[in-house]
Structure 1
Amino acid sequence: MSANRPVRLTVVRTEQLAPSMRRIVLGGDDFDVFAARVEALPQRYTDLYVKLVFLADGFDYPEPLDLDVVKQTMPQEAWPTLRTYTISGVDEQQRLVTIDFVVHGDEGVAGPWAAGAQPGDTIHLRGPNGGYAPDPAADWHLFVGDEAGLPAIAASIGALDDDATAVAFIEVDGPADELDLDGPAGLELHWLHRGDAAAGTTTLLDDAVRAMPWREGRVQAFVHGESALLKSVRPYVLRDRGVDRRDVSVSAYWRRGTTEEGFRAWKSQQTDAVIRPST
């Protein structure tokens, strides 16, 4: 199968992890193709992500689905809508792929789909790709993010060595949105509650990171979430704390007040918005 041909997976089960977080577990015949693509990546990334492919209603698409063919042969209104999501887990024994969705109301495309997804529903995925994995040689790890960054943070924490040291700050609506994360004994996990404030409007994460006693030794930092994090935590870590750029992964997953299309246009204009460790 061509790398640009999305795989087609089927919803096996769903789970409401928190009021604003819904888990979709996928499987099906194309799992082996997806797993092979994961194995073909340069390393086992913990911020593994895919493009979910949402087909427009009222059109007949070629099978197997090929996005290049669609764009070459079908009108623009038939072009699928793509949404980027982190893979929370790949279970090769059970042949399952897990994706956790932030669900807030009926706005957008992916969230409402996840909210209403039922076993037997199908979805196409293009990818995967990634850019980060915890370095066992780091003296300690720093994780900072909101709900959008939570799946990648959870996967990264779960991949840490048993003797690793880490500090994580995660902003959510409230106590009901906290998740049980598997991590080493040396993990300090801090949940920050925004309460009635809208996501992407607080300084909770920035304040917490700046107030934290900075540890000695080499740190590897992972800061992913709303775009405001780039303007606050990123310069503090790089400039004020002097962390090597190669040890910092900072990426905006969304921008308040914009659609994903608008967000992608904004992000493409940021010449240095994403800093990832060299691989």
Structure 2
Amino acid sequence: MESRCRRLSADGRAHFSNRSDDVTQPPGRRTPRTTRAEVLRVEQLTPHMIRVVFGGPGLAGFPAGQFTDHYIKLLFPIEGVAYPEPFDMQRIREEYPREQWPRVRTYTVRRWDPQNAEMTVDFVYHGDEGVAGPWAAALRPGDVTHFNGPGGDYTPDPQADWHLLAGDESALPAIAAALERLPHGAVAHAFVEVAGPPEEQKLETAADVAITWLHRGDARVGERLVAALRGFTFPAGDVHVFVHGEANFVKELRGLLRVDRGIPRERLSISGYWRLGQDEDGWQAGKREWNRRIEEEQEPPVSDAPRE
């Protein structure tokens, strides 16, 4: 599909996503589907983004495609622990101590091809930092992984007058998927903050989309994104919003959109995918409380019903 994007560069209880840790679910809750997938292809998209295409018989009938923010929970074995074959999370939960359960990392499904049963996932890569990035960089065709999912709950509303999408590198796969889903004639503004010009990607869409690439440089993550949206002139009409990325700037943007702009809760898909200074384990452990506090701070109080 040929891109019709206008590229702009710059330097310098609303809906909360439920990307929770399925592996640490309460006892008695049904264990989510665990899928076995094989690596088909690996591609270095940009200096800090690696694309992996998964396939294999385990992906037959994979229930993705409804949402543009579908995500999976990749399961990373603990070194030195022998897991059952076939891989069985229910058995692992029942028979293994908690410290031997696989580590979990959440990633967006960039693209799902049901005809070929191929799932594309893009990984942010910063050398040896983290769990999933180095793992993705070392993958070769034929390697095997397991994951839970998919989850997801956002797709751009075709009835909206216009769309606003904003985020950092972690949100870029979902933003790109949403732009591909927009039909001809739809209007959208996308703001994406990345480290610098080499991290920009070609984004395809049939819609009338203005894309603003924001180059972080030495600034704090989200700083340039927040500034850009504060200076943005919002078009008139019903807007459907997708804002995700680092939790601190997402909080600022939620205040701008929900409180300052008064956008209805049901028109916002907004959540922190990660938080600066925490790994995913720490972030997921405190995310529910973080979201609760933001709701209390930013939601207008409900007035009492008038007395007769």
TM-score, normalised to structure 2, is 0.82
CA distance in 1, matches of 2:277, 2:31: 33
TM-superposed deviation, 1:77: 3.2
TM-superposition CA deviations, 1:140-172 (whole Å, max 9, x none)? 000010000000000011100111000000000
Shift of 1:64: 2.7
CA–CA separation in structure 2 for the residues paired with 1:264 and 1:3: 18
CA distance in 2, matches of 1:38, 1:187: 25
2:14 is aligned to: none
Residue matched to 2:16: none
1:150-198 C-alpha deviation (Å, 9 max, x unpaired): 0000001110011100000000011110000012341000000011345
- What residue in structure 2 maps to residue 232 of structure 1? 252
The SS at the match of 1:14 is: strand
Where in structure 2 are the equivalents of 1:2-17 lying within 5 Å? 4-17=32-45
Q: Does 1:38 align with 2:64?
A: yes
State whether residues 138 and 218 of structure 1, in contact with CA within 8 Å, keep that contact through their aligned partners in structure 2. yes
Distance 1:135 1:21 in 2: 28
The equivalences for 1:129-278 within 5 A come to: 129-197=151-219, 200=221, 202-272=222-292
Counterpart position of 2:303: none
Per the alignment, residue 68 of structure 1 pairs with: 90
Where relative contact order (Cα < 8 A, 6+ residues apart) is larger, the structure is 2
**1:227-248 Cα shifts (integer Å, max 9, x gaps):** 1123211111111111111000
Query: Is the alpha carbon distance of 1:5 and 1:140 closer, same or farther for their aligned partners in structure 2, counting shifts above 3 Å?
Result: closer
Aligned 8 A contact 2:195 2:215 in 1? yes
CA offsets 1:90-116 (integer angstroms, 9 cap, x no match): 111222100000001212111110111
Match of 1:277 in 2: none
- CA shift, 1:3, in A, is 6.2
| Amino acid of the structure 2 residue aligned with 1:252 | G
1:66 Cα deviation after fit: 2.2
User: What is the deviation of 1:58?
Assistant: 2.1
Assess if the C-alpha contact under 8 Å between 1:53 and 1:80 holds in 2. yes
User: TM (normalized to structure 1)?
Assistant: 0.91
| Contact 1:52 1:82 (8 Å CA) reproduced | yes
* Structure 1 unmatched runs, 5+: 275-279
Distance in 1 (CA, whole Å) between partners of 2:151 and 2:31 is: 11
**Aligned residue identity for 1:4:** P
Q: Which runs of 5+ in 2 are unaligned?
A: 1-29, 296-308
Q: Which has the higher Rg, Structure 1 or Structure 2? A: 2
| Letter in structure 2 aligned against 1:179 | Q
Structure 1 distance, partners of 2:91, 2:176, is: 36
Q: 1:5 to 1:134 in 2, by over 3 A?
A: closer
Number of aligned positions between the proteins: 265
Counterpart Cα distance in 2 of 1:197 and 1:19: 19
User: Residues 141 and 219 of structure 1 are in contact (CA less than 8 Å); yes or no, is this contact kept in structure 2?
Assistant: yes
Contact 2:179 2:207 in 1 (8 A): no
Percent identical pairs in the alignment equals: 46
Distance 2:291 2:117 in 1: 38
For residues 63-90 of structure 1, what are the alpha-carbon distances to aligned partners after superposition, in whole Å with 9 as ceiling and x for unaligned? 3322221021123332100100000011
Aligned with residue 24 of structure 1, among 35, 52, 61: 52
Q: Find the aligned partners of 1:3 and 1:9 in 2 and give their Cα distance.
A: 18
CA distance in 2, matches of 1:107, 1:76: 24
Partner Cα distance (1:4, 1:69) in 2: 13
